[in-house]
Amino acid sequence: MKAIRNPISGNRTSDLLRICLALFIASLVISTMVLPVAVVGDKPRAKVKGHMLPVLQDPDVEKTGKPKADKKLFVVVSLNTYEPVPGMKSTVFPQSQESKGQGKFDLVKSFLKGSGLKVLNELSDLSAIWVEGTVAQVEKAFEVSISNYKLKDREFFANDDDPSVPVDIVDAVVAIAGLEDFVVYEPLLAVASSLPQDVTPTGVTPSAETVGPPFDPYEIRNAYGFTPTLLAIETPSKLTGQASTLPS
């Protein structure tokens, strides 16, 4: 006996195949529309080199954990908003450079504020921006991990890697200070508690209290052999230039 094909069953199978194929094609189309949006949202970043503490390579340094996420950090971002003027070789004198404009500075500032950091101050010459933020905010902004360390009796925190910023501002960022507190800056200026009582126009008589820095102007003058006449300290009227000759 010859088998009879059920036309209804065949139609249902073909319909299911068409539906599955349509769903597969739709998923491919949707994926190609969504993925580029995610990529565009994440700007490529670049490392700002030279921010790793050499002391972290010391075998005696011990990592002791993480600082509190809400610990406040103060960060200074130093910027280079100048570039050499075409045709000028000097990069030392300001007159041989031209500003990149407020635009580059504003991009850096916008990045810092957009990362949740609070701008505290900025220099009028566009060379630095001071910001404040928590450890968690700073880590996220510069894509670094900050840890606590101990070296003998010294405890400090430091970043475990060089920070990074978006590539469109990396050429303007010179340095990022405040990611560690191992380096402590102390003033070396010595201020005299009181001026010596025996200061005279001809100098000062050395004593146990006045020997050594800081030196007053009279001590410096006498140490280098400058006479009062030469400096016109006691006889300013002699500083006229009369009877003076210039070498040819």
Q: pLDDT, tens digit, for every residue of 21-65? A: 666 565 544 433 333 322 334 679 999 999 999 999 999 999 999
Burial class (CB in 10 A: 0-12, 13-18, 19+), 179: buried
From its phi and psi, is residue 212 left (phi > 0), alpha (psi between -120 and 50) or beta? left
In sequence order, which residues have a C-beta less than 8 Å from that of residue 144 and are 6 or more positions away? Answer: 138, 159, 160, 161, 162, 163, 164, 179
| Bond preceding residue 59 cis, omega within 30 of 0 | no
Q: What angle do CA 54, 67, 107 make, to 5 degrees?
A: 75
Give the confidence band of 156 by pLDDT, cuts at 50, 70, 90: very high
Say if residue 224's pLDDT is above 60.
yes
Spatial contact of 145 and 160, defined as CB atoms under 8 Å apart: yes
pLDDT tens, position by position, 163-205: 999 999 999 999 999 999 987 767 776 665 555 555 554 454 5
